[in-house]
Structure 1
Amino acid sequence: MRASGASDVALDADAVRRWIDVCLRDLRALRADIDDINVFPVADSDTGSNLLHTMIAARDGLDGLTADAAGSAGAALTAVADAAVRSAKGNSGVILSQVLRGMASSALGAPELGGAALANALKAADVAATRAVARPVAGTMLSVLHATSAALDGHAASGGGAFACSAAEVAELAAKTAAEALANTPNQLAALAVAGVVDAGGRGLVVVLDALVEALTGVRTTVPVCAASHAHAGDDRPSRAWEVMYLLTVSGPATAADGLPELRRVLSALGDSVTVAEAGDGEYAIHVHCADIGAVLEAGLAHGRPHGVRVEPLLTPKPVDHPVTAADRAVVAVVHGEALARLVEAEGIPVLAIGAGGEPSTEDLLTLVTTTAATHVTVVPGGVRLTAAAERVTGHPMLEGRDVVVVPCASPVQVLAALAVHDPERRAGADVVAMAEAAAATRRGEVVVAAEDAITWVGRAAAGDVVGLIDGEVVLIEPGGAEGSLERAATGVLDRMLAVGGELVTVLAGEEAPGTITDVLAGHLRAERPDVELVCYPGGQTDAVLLMGVE
């Protein structure tokens, strides 16, 4: 493939300057349009302005180049990146600064970048930007960037691993792929689909990559901005949240390596849109949307010296004062395990999958709720600990203006029961009540293998015994290792649950469940309770061989 008008010219220092200048020209021209489609993570109409501000700082960085370094593309990229990181504004500006930083790190002072080197630089940009964001979200600037990286990888693989394209051809492939990925962002992020727009940060990234094509080929490419189909709220909305940005100098590499994961965790508990981006040796650029400015600064103080602090107000939605319509509502789920998550997703429910035994972070939950773009969100969590975690964030300041309700569930089978009765056309309050009643009415059974010796209400269980539970209480124990013990435990629990009635049995098979167990249960019900319907799914859970629900 060859770009129209492309030559074998590489990205040298002069091309870097042309690239930044074209970026500035086009970001100035499109700033208002990009601002207007800014709806995620906060509809504060500033993405285009933040990208322009960051790129102006990047251009100023070129003024500080020494005469010896002025002819090196690597040195020019490093100067651009360093200046951008230190002055980056907003979430999109921080990500753009990391794009530049990733490219600079890959270039390593090279005099010029040919096709292979430019491809590697763009792939390094993807890695650097993604690493800086505490929780990447599909349908954003990062998705557009990742698509370009994947396309470059795929192109290299199709040629046996060798990248024979010129720098211009690499830039054109990246820009073309980014434009296609941008068009797909409303299919990935509900907030964009509801507003009828593409991602604003992704649109800015397409501008940057189109500018790279023009700098190398002289050919100008543009992609129309997807105009907003909604009106942004005016300045009468109260500011109840803040965008906090600062540079953090840490005392040494050991402190940075040990402390920054903890800093990410603390900042994620205080707000969302958290980025912790490298800004040089021992220095990091911090960005977070929060309600408590002081707590964010104190978190930085615990790990180093914050400086260059900038704080700007964010606009939060007004509380809903009209009947909630189907378009204003969303139901989301939080479950353990990918298999169960896929089962829930198949019903069209956004879901957050957590590893076995883990708990979601505050930012995980905030992101799950806010990406729906709904003003009334019902959260259906698949366990006691997940329910507690979800309830802790319902009053979070970042969710002010949204009505967030948790349907308490003690087991994944109760999640499935609740979702089965969900009706988006029903009034929001009535729908929540129906789901809560369905979950509460579902009796839950478990078949587990004892990990250690224990005393129970029905006797002593040794490690390796098969234990049956109903609603959290042990009801039977089968000797471990005995032939048929698992089948006897499963049918025994099922019989006890059905003794008080039931029409539907739902079974989730764990990772350690034998493939024949569901056939055993089906045969048992045909013989003993032919009036009862049985449905079985792969649950993928590791803490129970079987989970059963009876409705």
Structure 2
Amino acid sequence: MFKALDSVDGTALGRWARACVDGLESRCDEINRLNVFPVPDSDTGTNLLVTMRAAAAEALTAADASVSEVAAALARGAVAGARGNSGVILSQVLRGIAEAADCGRLDAATARSALNEASVLAAEAISVPVEGTIVTVLRHGAAAASACPHDTPLSDVVRAAADAAAEALARTPSQLAALGLAGVVDAGGLGLVVILDALVGVVTGETPQRADLGVAVPRAPVVEVEVPTPDCVDQADDQDYEVMYLLADSDDVRVGALRSDLDALGDSVIIVGDGAGVYSVHVHCADPGAAVEAGLAAGRPHQVRISCFVLDQRRRHGPAPATTRGILAVVAGAGVADLFEEEGAEVLRYEQSVTPGQLLAAIRDVGHGEVLVLPNGALSAQELVAVSVAARNENHSVLMLPSSSTVQGLAALAVHDPSRVAADDAFTMSEAAANTRWGSLRIAPERALTLVGTCEPGDGLGLIGHEVVVIAPDASEAGRRLLDQVLGVGGEMVTLLLGVAAPDGLADMLIDHVDRHHPGVEVLVYPGGQDGDLLQLGVE
């Protein structure tokens, strides 16, 4: 029988982060469908999920660490990976936990402090707070936790917060006109309830079941809450772009000036920090260039993301016109195919090999006027040139990107921005691919001579690019030595794509090796499903 926790340690906090990811994954589509405010762009669930995944991935670097170290990693990852209004607010929930856990414990008292601090940080982050949003739901959850007597156990504190948040969520249609008219609860608020319920599950062993929270509520007259005009925008007619970037080398004074500048440029201005000198900046505006220039005056903007609401809505709500851009990725493996499709790419999947004719047919089937192709090493340069020439006509503009491996293709796709002109988008994606070192781990099928010696059947082979650089008696040893080589010249993140023949425990062993010998390097592991290679890796 599960015994409720009196306090949360680093391991339990890591479990909570993974439970949040699982919960948001299961309700992502549902949350997206509820998204009507501040713009009806149907991405709140996706933004929360992407942000929480970034936080959980960063927490892997603090595995087996103290609760304060894990909490700090969660906040750091969330601020760096925040997407959209809701993701930025979520980052402040995690930052509130990090600041409360700085004392080295997360018990009933510090949990109350964490939620209060999160509520304050979230409210301060928004230039024009609006009732009936995720901030409202968070405030009520924090208030319920604070109202608990001081001797209340942790399990009752977190349960009170989650229940109060759920009740506040149910009231959001009566607080915000856009929600009442649409007959829905606030999308970000639902995501927050999912996250608080996950904490209840970790602490008590039983996650609350609230299957009906996201259902549409009856449309009824709503209580109009008078709020300033900028944050009442329900359409993207005036503010066509969402601009987000991280800001370093700044301070509170310059961030305050930046907030004023962005308020003058647009709305939905949110600026938050991770507590360690990095700020996440978010704004909806008509002039994305001016929003970035304002950041240059305040510090060093990086990881700039610009989204166009009009293009996003067209992609979601019907066939794209012939002038839009599509991505076609050539991939081997079911898991890899899923990764590309989740990021919006169309996929040409193959088992052993793909022919130029198959690629040409796939390009012609893409319903876009501009097609960027990620060949991922499946065809030779000469074959790609021939296909590119044959595919171009009055209806298709085709650009072959220099992705020589699957991991390079994923890195390129991560920076794809359809709002750029095709040449600029292709250049940025190509640069991301080129900056990703890649390699693979295999088992030698026969005796052969390589640049580093002779291998025997069954030896583990580590390759960087197409060249064998490691020969070892087994795959595990080859994998460790391969990682040492690719990380020996630097790197902040390693992506591992596991093949169908990867032995059990290989990924865990390699993660442990990186943690021990390359501290600070993040490791992401995905089921690739490719044949041949035990794993493929990319280093950024």
Shift of 1:169: 1.3
**1:74 counterpart residue number:** 68
Shift of 1:258: 2.1
Contact 1:11 1:167 in 2 (8 A): no
| Residue 141 (1) aligns with residue 134 (2) | yes
Contact 1:239 1:313 in 2 (8 A): no
The CA deviation string for residues 108-154 of structure 1, in whole angstroms up to 9 with x for no partner, is 051x3111111111111111111111111100000000111222222
Change in CA separation of 1:279 and 1:56 when aligned onto 2, cut-off 3 Å: same
**1:92 counterpart residue number:** 86
**2:14 counterpart residue number:** 17
Alignment of 1:114-129 (within 5 A): 114-129=107-122
In 2: Cα distance, 1:238 partner to 1:138 partner: 23
- How high is the TM-score relative to the length of structure 2? 0.52
**2:290 counterpart residue number:** 295
**2:196 counterpart residue number:** 209
The CA deviation string for residues 448-478 of structure 1, in whole angstroms up to 9 with x for no partner, is xxxxxxxxxxxxxxxxxxxxxxxxxxxxxxx
Alignment of 1:33-432 (within 5 A): 33-65=30-62, 70-108=64-102, 110=104, 112-155=105-148, 159=149, 163-223=150-210, 224-228=212-216, 241-251=240-250, 256-315=251-310
Which SS does the other structure have where 1:248 is aligned? strand
In 2: Cα distance, 1:8 partner to 1:262 partner: 44
The CA deviation string for residues 177-197 of structure 1, in whole angstroms up to 9 with x for no partner, is 000000011111000000000
- How high is the TM-score relative to the length of structure 1? 0.51
Contact 1:62 1:80 in 2 (8 A): yes
Change in CA separation of 1:182 and 1:106 when aligned onto 2, cut-off 3 Å: same
In 2: Cα distance, 1:86 partner to 1:204 partner: 19
Alignment of 1:470-509 (within 5 A): none
Which residue identity is paired with 1:39?
V
Shift of 1:221: 1.0
**2:483 counterpart residue number:** none
In 2: Cα distance, 1:284 partner to 1:25 partner: 27
Contact 2:31 2:45 in 1 (8 A): yes
The CA deviation string for residues 328-387 of structure 1, in whole angstroms up to 9 with x for no partner, is xxxxxxxxxxxxxxxxxxxxxxxxxxxxxxxxxxxxxxxxxxxxxxxxxxxxxxxxxxxx
RMSD, aligned CA: 2.5
In 1: Cα distance, 2:23 partner to 2:142 partner: 23
In 1: Cα distance, 2:51 partner to 2:209 partner: 21
Which SS does the other structure have where 2:306 is aligned? strand
Which SS does the other structure have where 1:289 is aligned? strand
Contact 2:267 2:284 in 1 (8 A): yes
Which residue identity is paired with 1:208?
I
In 2: Cα distance, 1:170 partner to 1:299 partner: 42
In 1: Cα distance, 2:312 partner to 2:48 partner: 24
In 2: Cα distance, 1:45 partner to 1:195 partner: 13
Shift of 1:97: 0.6
Could you list the runs of 5+ residues in structure 2 that have no partner in the other structure? 219-235, 314-540
The CA deviation string for residues 395-426 of structure 1, in whole angstroms up to 9 with x for no partner, is xxxxxxxxxxxxxxxxxxxxxxxxxxxxxxxx
In 1: Cα distance, 2:55 partner to 2:194 partner: 15
Change in CA separation of 1:14 and 1:142 when aligned onto 2, cut-off 3 Å: same
Which SS does the other structure have where 1:213 is aligned? helix
In 1: Cα distance, 2:239 partner to 2:283 partner: 14
Contact 1:264 1:276 in 2 (8 A): yes
- Which of the pair has more CA radius of gyration? 1
Which residue identity is paired with 1:307?
H
Shift of 1:25: 1.1
In 1: Cα distance, 2:237 partner to 2:255 partner: 33
In 2: Cα distance, 1:8 partner to 1:259 partner: 43
Which SS does the other structure have where 2:281 is aligned? strand
Which SS does the other structure have where 2:279 is aligned? strand
In 2: Cα distance, 1:260 partner to 1:85 partner: 15
Contact 1:6 1:169 in 2 (8 A): no
Contact 2:100 2:106 in 1 (8 A): no
In 2: Cα distance, 1:301 partner to 1:127 partner: 27
In 1: Cα distance, 2:310 partner to 2:159 partner: 37
Change in CA separation of 1:34 and 1:151 when aligned onto 2, cut-off 3 Å: same
Which residue identity is paired with 1:106?
A
Which residue identity is paired with 1:283?
V
Contact 1:276 1:285 in 2 (8 A): yes
Shift of 1:229: 7.7
**1:446 counterpart residue number:** none
Change in CA separation of 1:315 and 1:194 when aligned onto 2, cut-off 3 Å: farther
In 1: Cα distance, 2:102 partner to 2:56 partner: 19
Identity %: 46
Contact 2:145 2:158 in 1 (8 A): no
Shift of 1:168: 1.4
The CA deviation string for residues 17-70 of structure 1, in whole angstroms up to 9 with x for no partner, is 12111111111110000000000001000000000000110110122126xxx3
Contact 1:238 1:316 in 2 (8 A): no
Shift of 1:271: 1.1
Shift of 1:282: 3.1
Shift of 1:84: 0.8
Contact 1:267 1:299 in 2 (8 A): yes
Shift of 1:6: 6.0
Which residue identity is paired with 2:8?
L
In 2: Cα distance, 1:283 partner to 1:71 partner: 22
Shift of 1:12: 1.2
The CA deviation string for residues 310-337 of structure 1, in whole angstroms up to 9 with x for no partner, is 111114999xxxxxxxxxxxxxxxxxxx
In 1: Cα distance, 2:124 partner to 2:175 partner: 20
In 2: Cα distance, 1:129 partner to 1:166 partner: 26
**2:348 counterpart residue number:** none
Contact 2:272 2:281 in 1 (8 A): yes
Shift of 1:11: 1.1
Could you list the runs of 5+ residues in structure 1 that have no partner in the other structure? 231-236, 319-551
Contact 1:37 1:200 in 2 (8 A): yes
Alignment of 1:441-460 (within 5 A): none
Which residue identity is paired with 2:112?
A
Shift of 1:8: 4.5
The CA deviation string for residues 203-248 of structure 1, in whole angstroms up to 9 with x for no partner, is 0000000000001111021322433589xxxxxx999711110011
